[in-house]
A and B are shown apart, each in its own frame.
Chain A
């Protein structure tokens, strides 16, 4: 080994505390990149393989009832490779035993079509012709411990059907299953069921017909043109807009989740590696300054600039290499953990963790890049330092009065504190970057918890102020408002209010969107229309209000005319004026005063009801409601809220812990590196103070004073930066699904500040303890 390499190794060992602190920061950056990146690619590979093997359809369309011949016309369209005409029915499910009833989507099993094939996880498919056999989606089966052989009751359009579970399966169409009318998965209460077509034909009067279509495009087909042709064919049969995978519910949610994962594979590593770069810059700068005489000797001995420069660059690379090693290890472990977590979360045959050599290579490259950028300044200084100049000790820095001093701001401080403040000001660049690095550490925590806070805020708005009913129900089909009288007589029901939601298609020029038009009863107490700020939205009488997001997609503004096509019953079509825009939070919605909606639809009809229930009677009321044949779905608010909270908690808790740990590592790295450098550069001053009679505590205060100022300045600065990063992270959220009011709670601010402050204080304390061991005599004897 070359002597210069030995020096490198010994320098690394001598500075092992700082090397380790910075390597850990690099490691966190690489770990976050490797973990998110490999998880993303593993899941995308699993999804793509699943879609390909099971031939997930490219296009979808729903109709009221179309003859199978219409499906054959679709099949004949140019650009269509395959067609699957299904019968899909929402129904009730009675579970074995006395358990509460559940709901589900029943899908006819189309054996002839190759599209949307099931992957059996247990059992078998129903035998041809057996209308009493059912294959259950894995999520529902797992949540309810259903196995082949179990009995299951279904209520389809009021008709009871006895079924036997024969298999458990996954489908590419239902990787993510969200109940109709809900917005979180409820695997225990909502599932997907596949039965022989005959079982549904009878219930729905669908013999020789279908109400749902899936199709595959031929290679190179123009998707929009094909979907438009499908619409033309299906229009006479009450066709809703045909849509591609981009608007298929399961695919869209999966895609949303994956996109966020990809986002976190970029933003977080960049932030962390920026801090690592800065720390390497600090450390190497200090090393080069401290090794001025060694540098002089090397140059005088004839070492070339390239040899000297690469010596210091190698130091940075060694730190980064150590960090990359640790980061890749942690990242692979984290990636495996994430993939396992997602495997239970997505109903997708996860192929397992995939670690591409490219991920490793890029991780190493990333850390090397950060190291070299961080080393650039110090290496350049080492190279540029003329050998003759290096022979002489560095000239004392120019020490005129600082700006603070000229303002007289320092006069009130004791001399020791003045030292701290002067140094902070003189090394303005370093101070600023240190403050920024502390701010970034704080920001990581804030940004991570900001999503949590925002969802929390959204939940509080949605479940405490928008939805104030105890139970909401949906009818199997629109009913006269008189039905409410019957509901009100159920013991324990305090109040029943109308719910009116109709599926509509809104057309504006060439643009169109399907949406749910909700009747808003301004006198109602259980459901209200609130905007993001929690304010009630006043609806102009007779006017149509659109969610801002929907209006943007339709390209309309208040005052514009749109056509509203009702997608149920006689399917009336009316021209309406957009009267207002609403900043609502979930989905793409349209709203009208309920009386105006009644007039539009030719008479009052309810799609469901909102109930307020006596606290003790809730379960009994729910049981009564579930037993009613006209009730399709019962949603207790508390359950939906709990589900939502559970899902959020599961995803965010892990994430929180990881981010807090990263932030702590960053804070330790910044404070420890800075404090060690201060100790190295000011050791002489500090020892002098000790000799002059300063106590250890006083000298310690001078030493860590700088770090305290940096921490106290950096933390508050981290809060707005964190908000900015949080906005960036939330920008990848599909705004058609959710619009988050971006909120940061005081709890988050306190938590972020506490994490950074604790980590910073602990590392400053560690260095302060080192100052206790200052070699007073030795330091003063040393030349400088």
Chain B
């Protein structure tokens, strides 16, 4: 196992994983989703994890976010060992440090935009007001709308507001534009980029859309459960300039 430096010119590593493996049992067959992944997230960076479906990127994100534990390998968030954490510890980790954005938004349909955000601010320790979070994603005029009254892009921006409202240390986004058309997708990516830039939130976006890699500090390609390549962008592209 190759040792990674605790810090380099990119700053301090907040999350550090080594030799991650994950095997699922699907019916009668074992599926090896991760086959030894070494990976770190550095404070304040925006990383795009690229890969086709089945490459293991969602599995990696779930483990980074404390939704799942690896079958083998180590993963530490600052001084927390996530690989051996029990359910309560993982819940605390998510509650205190992680913001999630999902492909299908996962908003609570019976709650308004403001209330969906409040769901998080009510259990966070130093949250921003739901209204402020929604203003950051440009939805301050849609506070009392239910998800069913919002477009897909608006729903995803509510989800981003809900994720950033707690001022998370990590913002993990699973195919945030997967269900959206390109113009709407650019708006959503803009909201994520703004959150990363303005709040300094370490952000990881997984996507199968290679065009998105241009907005990242760093792009990591996964294939067949392994990290295939890592590249860095000297200059982050503006989300509005991306095209696909």
Query: CB of A260 within 8 A of chain B?
Result: no
Task: Report the minimal beta-carbon distance from B96 to chain A, rounded to whole angstroms.
Answer: 7
Query: CB of A775 within 8 A of chain B?
Result: no
How far apart are the CA atoms of A175 and B61 in the complex, in Å? 79
Tell which of B91, B104, B109 has the most Cβ of chain A within 10 Å. Answer: B91
Whether B111 contacts A391 by the Cβ 8 Å rule is: no
- The interface residues of chain A lying within 8 Å CB-to-CB of B184 are none
Query: CB of A305 within 8 A of chain B?
Result: yes
Which of A3, A14, A302 makes the CB contact (< 8 A) with B95?
A302
Known interface pairs A387-B68, A783-B104. Does A302 touch B123 (Cβ–Cβ under 8 Å)? yes
Known interface pairs A293-B106, A388-B62, A388-B67. Does A303 touch B111 (Cβ–Cβ under 8 Å)? no
A9 and chain B: residue at smallest CB distance: B110
- The interface residues of chain A lying within 8 Å CB-to-CB of B92 are 302
Q: Mark A305-322, 1 if CB is under 8 A from B, else 0.
A: 101000000000000000
Whether A302 contacts B94 by the Cβ 8 Å rule is: yes
**Tally of A interface residues using CB under 8 Å:** 26
Task: Report the minimal beta-carbon distance from B107 to chain A, rounded to whole angstroms.
Answer: 7
B120 and chain A: residue at smallest CB distance: A301
**Chain A 279-312 interface residues, beta-carbon cutoff 8 Å to B:** 293-294, 296-305, 307
How far apart are the CA atoms of A323 and B35 in the complex, in Å? 54
Query: CB of B108 within 8 A of chain A?
Result: yes
Task: Report the minimal beta-carbon distance from B134 to chain A, rounded to whole angstroms.
Answer: 14
Task: Report the minimal beta-carbon distance from B125 to chain A, rounded to whole angstroms.
Answer: 11
B179 and chain A: residue at smallest CB distance: A783
Whether B119 contacts A387 by the Cβ 8 Å rule is: no
Q: Mark B105-146, 1 if CB is under 8 A from A, else 0.
A: 011111100011011101100000000000000000000000
**Interface SS majority for chain A:** helix
Task: Report the minimal beta-carbon distance from A12 to chain B, rounded to whole angstroms.
Answer: 10
How far apart are the CA atoms of A386 and B68 in the complex, in Å? 8
B62 and chain A: residue at smallest CB distance: A388
Whether A301 contacts B88 by the Cβ 8 Å rule is: no
Q: Which of the four size classes fits the interface of chain B? A: 20 to 34
Query: CB of B6 within 8 A of chain A?
Result: no
Whether A301 contacts B162 by the Cβ 8 Å rule is: yes
Q: Mark A220-248, 1 if CB is under 8 A from B, else 0.
A: 00000000000000000000000000000
Query: CB of B100 within 8 A of chain A?
Result: yes
Query: CB of B65 within 8 A of chain A?
Result: yes
Query: CB of A571 within 8 A of chain B?
Result: no
Query: CB of B41 within 8 A of chain A?
Result: no
Whether B108 contacts A294 by the Cβ 8 Å rule is: yes
Tell which of B67, B98, B100, B110 has the most Cβ of chain A within 10 Å. Answer: B110
Task: Report the minimal beta-carbon distance from A538 to chain B, rounded to whole angstroms.
Answer: 74
Whether A3 contacts B65 by the Cβ 8 Å rule is: no
How far apart are the CA atoms of A631 and B116 in the complex, in Å? 89
- The interface residues of chain A lying within 8 Å CB-to-CB of B104 are 293, 783
Task: Report the minimal beta-carbon distance from B67 to chain A, rounded to whole angstroms.
Answer: 4
Which of A2, A4, A294, A303 makes the CB contact (< 8 A) with B106?
A294
B88 and chain A: residue at smallest CB distance: A304
Query: CB of B181 within 8 A of chain A?
Result: no
Whether A7 contacts B100 by the Cβ 8 Å rule is: no
Known interface pairs A296-B106, A300-B67, A302-B94. Does A391 touch B62 (Cβ–Cβ under 8 Å)? yes
Task: Report the minimal beta-carbon distance from A342 to chain B, rounded to whole angstroms.
Answer: 48
- The interface residues of chain A lying within 8 Å CB-to-CB of B95 are 301-304
Task: Report the minimal beta-carbon distance from B211 to chain A, rounded to whole angstroms.
Answer: 23
- The interface residues of chain A lying within 8 Å CB-to-CB of B120 are 301-302
- The interface residues of chain B lying within 8 Å CB-to-CB of A298 are 108, 119
- The interface residues of chain A lying within 8 Å CB-to-CB of B122 are 2-4
Task: Report the minimal beta-carbon distance from A778 to chain B, rounded to whole angstroms.
Answer: 10
How far apart are the CA atoms of A305 and B107 in the complex, in Å? 19
Whether A302 contacts B111 by the Cβ 8 Å rule is: no
How far apart are the CA atoms of A683 and B67 in the complex, in Å? 31
A301 and chain B: residue at smallest CB distance: B120
- The interface residues of chain B lying within 8 Å CB-to-CB of A294 are 106, 108-109
Query: CB of A127 within 8 A of chain B?
Result: no
Q: Mark A365-389, 1 if CB is under 8 A from B, else 0.
A: 0000000000000000000001110
How far apart are the CA atoms of A4 and B121 in the complex, in Å? 12
- The interface residues of chain A lying within 8 Å CB-to-CB of B68 are 386-388
Query: CB of B102 within 8 A of chain A?
Result: yes
Task: Report the minimal beta-carbon distance from A11 to chain B, rounded to whole angstroms.
Answer: 6
- The interface residues of chain A lying within 8 Å CB-to-CB of B162 are 301
How far apart are the CA atoms of A241 and B238 in the complex, in Å? 108
Whether A300 contacts B115 by the Cβ 8 Å rule is: no
- The interface residues of chain B lying within 8 Å CB-to-CB of A387 are 62, 67-68, 94
Whether A3 contacts B94 by the Cβ 8 Å rule is: no
Query: CB of B81 within 8 A of chain A?
Result: no
Known interface pairs A386-B68, A388-B67, A388-B68. Does A302 touch B106 (Cβ–Cβ under 8 Å)? no
Task: Report the minimal beta-carbon distance from B66 to chain A, rounded to whole angstroms.
Answer: 8
- The interface residues of chain B lying within 8 Å CB-to-CB of A121 are none
How far apart are the CA atoms of A4 and B108 in the complex, in Å? 10
Tell which of A7, A298, A391 has the most Cβ of chain B within 10 Å. Answer: A391
B90 and chain A: residue at smallest CB distance: A387
How far apart are the CA atoms of A388 and B123 in the complex, in Å? 21
How far apart are the CA atoms of A6 and B146 in the complex, in Å? 13
B174 and chain A: residue at smallest CB distance: A391
Query: CB of A10 within 8 A of chain B?
Result: yes
How far apart are the CA atoms of A307 and B119 in the complex, in Å? 12
**Chain B 29-72 interface residues, beta-carbon cutoff 8 Å to A:** 58, 62, 65, 67-68
Which of B58, B62, B98, B111 makes the CB contact (< 8 A) with A3?
B111
**Chain B 164-215 interface residues, beta-carbon cutoff 8 Å to A:** 174
- The interface residues of chain A lying within 8 Å CB-to-CB of B106 are 293-294, 296-297, 300
Whether A300 contacts B119 by the Cβ 8 Å rule is: no
Task: Report the minimal beta-carbon distance from A288 to chain B, rounded to whole angstroms.
Answer: 14
Task: Report the minimal beta-carbon distance from B110 to chain A, rounded to whole angstroms.
Answer: 4
Whether B110 contacts A7 by the Cβ 8 Å rule is: yes
Whether A304 contacts B91 by the Cβ 8 Å rule is: yes
Known interface pairs A7-B108, A7-B111, A11-B110. Does A301 touch B67 (Cβ–Cβ under 8 Å)? no
Whether B110 contacts A302 by the Cβ 8 Å rule is: no
Whether B94 contacts A301 by the Cβ 8 Å rule is: yes
Task: Report the minimal beta-carbon distance from A777 to chain B, rounded to whole angstroms.
Answer: 15
Task: Report the minimal beta-carbon distance from A396 to chain B, rounded to whole angstroms.
Answer: 11
Whether B111 contacts A300 by the Cβ 8 Å rule is: no
Whether B110 contacts A10 by the Cβ 8 Å rule is: yes
How far apart are the CA atoms of A236 and B222 in the complex, in Å? 111
- The interface residues of chain B lying within 8 Å CB-to-CB of A301 are 94-95, 100, 119-120, 123, 162
Beyond A297-B102, A304-B91, 17 additional contacts (C-beta under 8 Å) are: A2-B122, A3-B111, A3-B118, A6-B110, A6-B111, A6-B115, A294-B106, A296-B106, A297-B106, A300-B100, A301-B120, A302-B91, A304-B95, A388-B62, A388-B68, A391-B102, A391-B174
Report, nearest first, the 4 A-B pairs whose CB atoms are least far apart: A302-B95, A10-B110, A297-B106, A388-B68
A-B contact pairs, 23 of them (CB 8 A): A3-B111, A3-B116, A6-B111, A293-B106, A297-B102, A297-B106, A297-B108, A300-B65, A300-B67, A300-B94, A301-B100, A301-B120, A302-B91, A302-B94, A302-B120, A304-B91, A305-B87, A307-B123, A388-B62, A391-B62, A391-B102, A391-B174, A783-B104
| Chain A interface (Cβ < 8 Å from any Cβ of B) | 2-4, 6-7, 10-11, 14, 293-294, 296-305, 307, 386-388, 391, 783
| Chain B interface (Cβ < 8 Å from any Cβ of A) | 58, 62, 65, 67-68, 87-88, 91-92, 94-96, 98, 100, 102, 104, 106-111, 115-116, 118-120, 122-123, 162, 174
